[in-house]
Amino acid sequence: MPLLMCPNDNAPMQTLDRHGVQFDMCPTCRGVWLDRGELEKLMES
């Protein structure tokens, strides 16, 4: 699977798992990329 690059600083993003939801976070600027429906799942948990 290709790495998702941060749109803010072009750093490779890390995949994290919280409450069963996988999302991507930039370790440099701490920006978060959520796929469709992931925000709602995080808010429900």
Model pLDDT, residue 8:
95
The predicted model scores a pTM of: 0.75
Mean pLDDT of the region 28-41: 94
Number of domains in the chain: 1
Model pLDDT, residue 45:
80
Model pLDDT, residue 3:
82
Model pLDDT, residue 21:
92
pLDDT tens per residue, range 5-14: 999 999 999 9
- What residues make up the domain containing 33? 1-45
Burial of residue 20 (CB within 10 Å: 0-12, 13-18, 19+) is exposed
Q: Which two tokens stand for residue 22?
A: 């996988």
